[in-house]
Amino acid sequence: MGSSIRVLHVITTIDLGGAEKFLVELVRKQVQEGLVVGVVPLKGTNQLSATFKSMGAKVYEDFSTYSFIRQISKFFFLAKGFDVIHAHLPRAETLACLCGTGKKLIVTRHNAERFWPNGPIWFSKMISNFVINRANSLVAISVAVKQFMLENSEVSFRQDIKVIYYGVSLNSIEIPSVNRPQKPTQIGTIARLEPQKNLFFLLDVFTSLNAKYPELQLKILGEGSLKKALSSEISERDLGSVVEIQSKVSDINSFLKNLDVFVLTSKYEGFGMVLLEASNAKLPIVAPAVSAIPEVLGRDHPGLVPLFSVSAFSDKIIEMLQNESLRNEVVLKQDSRLKMFSPDKMHGLYLETYMDVVKKC
């Protein structure tokens, strides 16, 4: 039945990021199961275009060169050839809604933040509800995202919000023992260089660690608006020899395999795809117990610490580096959690949602 469904994904960008990596996993499974899949990115550099094409999806790259008004016009006609329109992230949701695709529109909310974070609260609520009330089906990627929408009135008139978790392929990264020194020396993170990821706080944590363990290194993989400010801060703290910011790469395995502890310092996460990637690489994780992070790692995860506590982060990182039995316990716990986040399960739940939409249309 799934093979008869034509689905068009519209997303703000197909540059590297959590929502974009989710879409890669979902489209891969959809094409394998015989769905006809199109992908429309609205802006950005289309870094993942070749990846989608190699899987058999059609990518409408020209949309990223158009103005928003022209995108609406082009999308209106393109959408007529598909059974389901699946929108991801605010700009894409808004466009799909304005094109009158409501009867076949599915919205997936990826962020535990306001729909329009830089605008007035009343405006964010209004636009969010305008979009949601015109969609056929609404999906949240975590309970934390669902709760955020409800508690902040980003959704006011409907309670039929499905929760469908991200899925990740369980092909564990091989980390040869020869690549790991007897005394672990590298911690790291993968994050957009934006305020949400709390990276200046990460530098505070590392500064505390550096005073006791000057051989320890910090690796940050990411790009974003704070890159220049973070680089200046690293220089001012005289940490240039032990802290490195690397640009994003399509293959993160080479980055992860050289780490000994993965550290996430985000103020909030809608899900946190990097948590699955680090778990899959068999890296113990230290992260704050906020929003969806305990939902992904498990509320009893030994690496969960209070947000904004430098001492709690630094003490837990040291414990992960020095206590081999704790490391093994954490890695085993993360392995067991990974089974909850299967691409097959994710695809199956979305397929059910698509079929419901097709029946109603």
Condensed to tens digits (0 to 9), the pLDDT of residues 171-201 reads: 644 444 434 445 448 999 999 999 999 999 9
The pTM of this model reads 0.91
* Angstrom distances, CA of residue 74 to CA of 24, 67, 88, 91, 127: 24, 11, 18, 15, 22
Residue-wise pLDDT for 18-57, tens only, equals 999 999 999 999 999 999 999 999 999 999 999 999 999 9
Looking at the domain assignment, is residue 172 inside a domain? no
- Short-list 351, 274, 248, CA closest to 13: 248
- Both structure tokens of 119: 């605008």
Looking at the domain assignment, is residue 99 inside a domain? yes
Q: Report whether 165 contacts 137 (CB < 8 A).
A: no
Asked whether residue 199 falls in the same domain as residue 68, the answer is: no
**The total number of residues written for the chain in this structure:** 361
Amino acid letter, 74: K
* Angstrom distances, CA of residue 331 to CA of 60, 168, 177, 274, 338: 40, 17, 15, 15, 11
Which residue carries 């389901």 as its tokens? 84
Band of pLDDT at residue 169, cut at 50, 70 and 90: confident
Q: How far apart are CA 313 and CA 309, in angstroms?
A: 6
Asked whether residue 70 falls in the same domain as residue 87, the answer is: yes
Asked whether residue 16 falls in the same domain as residue 130, the answer is: yes
- Both structure tokens of 277: 């990637």
**Which of 34-38, 169-173, 310-314, 354-358 has the weakest average pLDDT?**
169-173
Looking at the domain assignment, is residue 353 inside a domain? yes
Asked whether residue 189 falls in the same domain as residue 156, the answer is: no
Asked whether residue 259 falls in the same domain as residue 300, the answer is: yes
Number of domains in the chain: 2
Asked whether residue 30 falls in the same domain as residue 155, the answer is: yes
Asked whether residue 211 falls in the same domain as residue 194, the answer is: yes
Asked whether residue 199 falls in the same domain as residue 307, the answer is: yes
Residue 308 has pLDDT above 60, yes or no: yes
**DSSP H helices in 237-272:** 253-256
Residue 150 has pLDDT above 80, yes or no: yes
Signed CA dihedral, 151, 289, 161, 21: sign only: positive
What domain range is 333 assigned to? 177-338
Q: How far apart are CA 270 and CA 286, in angstroms?
A: 17
Looking at the domain assignment, is residue 127 inside a domain? yes
